Amino acid sequence: MALWPEAVIPGALHIVSTPIGHLGDITLRALAVLQQAAAICCEDTRHARPLLDRYGIGTPTLALHEHNEASVTPRLIERLQGGEPLALISDAGTPLVSDPGARLVETAAALGIRIVPVPGASATLAALVASGLAPHPFTVLGFLDRKGKDRENQLALAARLPHSVVVFESPNRLVDTLRAVAEITGGQRHVAVARELTKHFEEIRRGTLAEVAAYYEAVPPRGEIVLVLAGAEVAEPSEDGLRAVAGALREQGFRPRDIVRMLMDEHGASRNLAYRLAHDT
């Protein structure tokens, strides 16, 4: 008996989440889709083999990675348009999040091909819910650039966002990243470093940026790492200050509705307070 009869949809691209470490973290539906698909598009076919062999899945595999995605996508689109159900997996977790496959999905969606998400493991969500930090809202920056101005801009963005930020980092750059954000924020911002999630040596280290950086300087990290940074504290605008801003805008000839929008967008006022101050005379 099939794990999940008729799990695949003809002519659809199935985005299948796979384990991020522990091979038991895969859904029955995901296994059924992988069994029934015409082919499985893998970030690395060799990396996918232990999972497929563990569950006796003999579906043909083909490589889809950053170096061949542009050339392979047209052929995959032809197969989908011909009615074949295809599955897309990454090396671990949910595809497309800092992994290849976006070009294929974007092309398929633009052509009206059905995209079917098959949810499952996610390193981002696993780290976030175990971090002890506010779980929502949050921003995922993925892997940071290794050096240069782009990296500096990404670190500055992570430091100023007012909510939790998730970053993927390599072990040899972790301490540098923690120190760089500490220089911007002062080092007292809280952070959680999730290492080797779902694996035997899983570790979640929590503390201030300074504390966690010091720990990993003394104990060099190994394995795959997800960093969760607490959001920046945003000072609440004072009502007197907002009233003064509203008065100045009124003198400049702005209409009440424009003042409401500017107080909310530029000064962080609540809608009710902005409306009241904009209509004060």
pLDDT value of position 239: 84
Residue 213 resides in a domain: yes
67 and 90 both lie in a single domain: yes
Residue 1 resides in a domain: no
The total domain count for the chain is 3
Which residue numbers in the chain have pLDDT < 50? Answer: 1
173 and 92 both lie in a single domain: no
pLDDT value of position 3: 64
Within the chain, what is the greatest distance between any pair of CA atoms? 76
User: What is the pTM assigned to this prediction?
Assistant: 0.81
Residue 2 resides in a domain: no
94 and 80 both lie in a single domain: yes
129 and 224 both lie in a single domain: yes
190 and 266 both lie in a single domain: no
Q: Identity (one letter) of the amino acid at 264?
A: M
pLDDT value of position 126: 97
Range of the structural domain that residue 41 is part of: 13-121
43 and 72 both lie in a single domain: yes
Residue 67 resides in a domain: yes
243 and 273 both lie in a single domain: yes
Residues 72, 64 contacting (CB under 8 angstroms): yes
Considering Cα of 32, then 37, then 39, then 43, what sign does the dihedral take? negative
Residue 234 resides in a domain: no
109 and 35 both lie in a single domain: yes
Count of CB atoms situated within 10 Å of the CB of 164:
23
Smallest Cα–Cα separation from 40: which of 13, 66, 20? 13
Query: What CATH number does residue 216 fall under?
Result: 3.30.950.10
145 and 199 both lie in a single domain: yes
152 and 57 both lie in a single domain: no
Residue 38 resides in a domain: yes
pLDDT value of position 241: 84
**pLDDT tens digits for range 46-98:** 999 999 999 999 999 999 999 999 999 999 999 999 999 999 999 999 999 88
204 and 252 both lie in a single domain: no
Q: At which of 104, 121, 138 does a domain end?
A: 121
Q: At which of 101, 121, 141 does a domain end?
A: 121
pLDDT value of position 281: 58
Query: What CATH number does residue 88 fall under?
Result: 3.40.1010.10
pLDDT value of position 1: 44
Residue 3 resides in a domain: no
pLDDT value of position 243: 87
Kindly write down the DSSP assignment for every residue of 105-130, as one continuous string.
HHHHHHTT--EEEE----HHHHHHHH
Residue 109 resides in a domain: yes
57 and 88 both lie in a single domain: yes
Q: At which of 87, 121, 155 does a domain end?
A: 121
